Chains A and B, each alone.
Chain A
Amino acid sequence: EAGVAQSPRYKIIEKRQSVAFWCNPISGHATLYWYQQILGQGPKLLIQFQNNGVVDDSQLPKDRFSAERLKGVDSTLKIQPAKLEDSAVYLCASSSRDRGYGYEQYFGPGTRLTVT
């Protein structure tokens, strides 16, 4: 079974530029998550999708971050414009159940973003 795929693996941009990350979850997984992991901290949930609908985006900075999941499969996360504090690893995860109660999340390798 193929794992969660993410691209690019690394990205360096200047502040005020825009950037997009792509995620392909495990086949058949209805739930998809985007996390932000700042150096020295645990992952923080940005947004959760159930199929192509948003379940929770309460911690997504909507003035600059956006995400979509067309057709309930692949997802993209965009930052526009980027700030220095957006430097982090962006993790995508998927799971096969509707809710995260005790259901294992499978994580991709992440995209390391550096904003200069």
Chain B
Amino acid sequence: AQSVTQLGSHVSVSEGALVLLRCNYSSSVPPYLFWYVQYPNQGLQLLLKYTTGATLVKGINGFEAEFKKSETSFHLTKPSAHMSDAAEYFCAVSGPGGSYIPTFGRGTSLIVHP
């Protein structure tokens, strides 16, 4: 079965600092990987996804993630945090080798300090 582990339930950064949210996956074959963002009292919105091709994926709002097969990781980064980035972030996996329905991690809450 496929699964994802998000390291750190909370990440706190200062405005303007680098954002790094960690996600490791478990899959027997290269999976499809997603990052979603959830703002308070809202549904999930797709930030970016990796299916095939280029391993560095750029998403909305200045976020990007790199698929590293050797490390089974798909960490989310943003060079400079903005106050509006404060939200819950979910990593998800789907695709070959398991269910085609995304399996979500527990989420990481990003806190941005002024």
Contacts and interface: CB of A to CB of B under 8 A. Distances in A.
B81 to A, nearest CB: 22
A2 to B, nearest CB: 14
B90 A42 contact: yes
B106 A100 contact: no
Chain B interface extent, by class: 20 to 34
Contacts of A104: 46, 49
A48 B104 CA distance: 15
B32 A41 contact: no
A72 interface: no
A107 B94 contact: no
Contact of A107 (B45, B95, B100): B45
B101 A56 contact: yes
A25 interface: no
Interface stretch (B11-19, B36-44, B61-69): B36-44
Contacts of A99: 100
B44 A101 contact: no
A21 interface: no
B94 A100 contact: yes
B51 interface: yes
B43 A102 contact: no
Nearest to A3: B43
Given A93-B44, A108-B43, 13 more contacts: A41-B106, A42-B104, A93-B43, A99-B100, A101-B51, A101-B94, A101-B96, A102-B32, A102-B51, A102-B94, A104-B49, A107-B45, A110-B42
Interface of B: 9, 32, 36, 41-46, 49, 51, 90, 92, 94-96, 99-102, 104-107
18 contacts: A4-B43, A41-B106, A42-B90, A42-B92, A45-B101, A48-B101, A93-B44, A100-B100, A100-B101, A101-B32, A101-B96, A101-B100, A102-B32, A104-B46, A107-B36, A108-B43, A109-B41, A110-B43
